[in-house]
Amino acid sequence: MIDGDISNQFKLLWNYCNEIVRTNPNTSVYMKLVENEEPCKPERFQRFYICFSACKEGFKSGSNGTQLLTDVGLDPNNNIYPIAYAVVEKENHRQKGLIGAFNDILPFVAHRFCVRHLHSNFKRAGFGGNTLRNALWKDASTTTVRWFDERMVEIFDLDPEAAIWLRDKSPSEWSKSHFSEDVKCDTLVNNICECFNSMILDARDKPIITLLEKIWYMLMARMQANKYKSAKWSSDDICPKIKNLLCKSQVAAAEYIPRKSNEWNYELIGASITDIWAIDLLNIKCSYRKWNLTGLPCKHAIAAIWAKNDEINSYIDDYYKVETYRRIYEFAILPMNGQSMWPQY
């Protein structure tokens, strides 16, 4: 009685859509119906998609059952930022799957695999054992093409078939060495999606409107809580989690000796003859590429910044700043009425 009747809730979905559009203008909400298998029966539900205007604006700056798909990003404090979600039919053997759908609908967008799931497929293909697993993760974590090629040779020496299997996967989809420097994110796993899924675990087995309203309330409360939290932070600072990451990099930076080339370029000398890196502070470049990929000064960059007597914060991408965080969470998901007040369809 508390959760509601499953069949009755499907009948109210159009009214629910109308209430969302009424209370949260510019929200993207779509519902798809399909022809009923039973003659003379009305169309039946197939899919429901929603992206609240608040999430949208913040982001700019084999079975008859259903499944929940989520689109989740990272905010400037490295916390999850839910963008959109959809209730769809479960994938069956007649469908191409998500990879095919992404390639068809978003052909010019860079895609990445979760390396943990890639490793699961790697094992199912017959390439098990800790040695191969460690070699795969080592190759995925490397930041330069030179190192990537060397790691692939190591994998080939361990198991030629395993190397051939990996060669069929574009390295731009699973290795940092080939990631674009435009995204400012070097994440290798989809923990953020799994984190969001754990937050809505209680809602996933509810009738559809109860499910959607539980997610709506969670998002509304989260947007407000993060907005309130950031009001206590200094406006000209960077976000707390990022500050902690930088503190760790500063400890490591003390191990490097900078040699100045000109006003902006430095050579960083580490503990061995192979631990030498070039830094271009003007163009935000490090030959190690960690800084290039994330927008956060790495230990080599920090050592060069210290040698130049500059402020580290001035070399951090604007994405990680408190001001950006506040702009993302300045939008609110607005409240909605109960079912008795929904616009009738």
The stretch 276-302 carries a mean pLDDT of 97
Average pLDDT, the chain: 91
Structure confidence by residue, pLDDT tens digits, 292-335: 999 999 999 999 999 999 999 999 999 999 999 999 999 999 99
On the question of pLDDT at 245 being above 50, the answer is: yes
The stretch 161-186 carries a mean pLDDT of 94
Closest to 296 (Cα-Cα) out of 233, 248, 230: 248
Q: How far apart are CA 213 and CA 222, in angstroms?
A: 14
258 and 313 both lie in a single domain: yes
Structure confidence by residue, pLDDT tens digits, 144-166: 999 999 999 999 999 999 999 99
176 vs 5 pLDDT, higher one = 176
Q: How far apart are CA 299 and CA 289, in angstroms?
A: 11
Residue 106 is predicted with a pLDDT of 82
Q: How far apart are CA 290 and CA 293, in angstroms?
A: 5
Residue 40 is predicted with a pLDDT of 81
216 and 335 both lie in a single domain: yes
Q: Which amino acid is located at 28 in the chain?
A: S
98 and 197 both lie in a single domain: yes
Domain membership flag for residue 215: yes
Q: How far apart are CA 236 and CA 322, in angstroms?
A: 7
Domain membership flag for residue 235: no
Tell me the CA distances in angstroms from 116 to 25, 30, 110, one per residue in order: 39, 32, 19
Domain membership flag for residue 200: yes
Domain membership flag for residue 219: yes
Domain membership flag for residue 280: yes
Q: pLDDT category, 38, cuts 50, 70, 90?
A: confident
Percent of the chain with pLDDT over 90: 73
77 and 25 both lie in a single domain: yes
Residues 6+ apart with CB under 8 A from 71: 51, 82, 83, 84, 85
Point out which residues pair with 70 in neighbouring strands. 85
Q: Which domain holds residue 299?
A: 240-320
pTM of the model: 0.88
Point out which residues pair with 28 in neighbouring strands. 51
Structure confidence by residue, pLDDT tens digits, 39-79: 888 888 999 999 999 998 776 653 346 788 888 999 999 99
Residue 94 is predicted with a pLDDT of 59
Residue 95 is predicted with a pLDDT of 58
